[in-house]
Amino acid sequence: YGHPVTLVTDPGMEPLMVHHLRALGAHVDVVAEPHPVGGWQEARRQRVRELLTRTPSAWCPDQYNNPDNVAAYAPLALELIVQLGRIDVLVAAVGTGGHSAGIARTLRTFNPELKLVGVDSVNSTVFGQPAGPRLMRGLGSSIHPGNVDHAAFDEVHWVAPG
């Protein structure tokens, strides 16, 4: 579509993925150091804020706090119902909170008794643990995503690699 795209990441992104993104025309901005308190996530968010300040016409979807992230999962929930029928329990990994909130919200319109079980990473702040190093990408957070619907969870379990 001809829109310039800048993606902010950290050294944990697979080099092959960086190569593919650049081949597709994206500018990939890799932060060099983690934020002293918020880790890599906060370092990336800080860089995004800098880029938005320098480029007022730029836009950031803010996956952590954008209700569209949650709403985008309604079709997946409907597909799950079509494929599986009544769903009694949803076990969901929690990062930005988008998919757990979006899928559970839609599933509960068909089964209000649905149990939502969250899976978080140790050293993730999502459910109140202190931030620390996490080895699993895409799970947990060192920030507090607004999309996480804490009240929706019936249980939370923490996992660690190894």
pLDDT tens profile 70-83: 999 999 999 999 99
Residue 43 C-beta-side C-alpha neighbours within 13 Å = 15
User: Distance between CA atoms of 65 and 118, rounded to whole angstroms?
Assistant: 18
Q: What is the pLDDT of residue 154?
A: 98
15-52 residues labelled b (16+ CB within 10 A) or e (exposed) = eeebeebeeeeeebeebeebbeebbbbbbbbebbeeee
Domains located in the chain, CATH noted: 6-54 (3.40.50.1100), 67-159 (3.40.50.1100)
In three-state form (DSSP H/G/I as H, E/B as E, the rest C), the secondary structure along 32-74 is CCCECCCHHHHHHHHHHHHHHHHCCCCCCCCCCCCHHHHHCCH
pLDDT (0 to 100) of residue 40 = 85
**What pLDDT digit, counting tens, does each position of 1-50 carry?**
788 999 999 998 999 999 999 999 999 999 999 988 888 888 999 999 99
Instruction: Pick the closest to residue 121 from 106, 109, 136, 107 (CA basis).
Output: 136
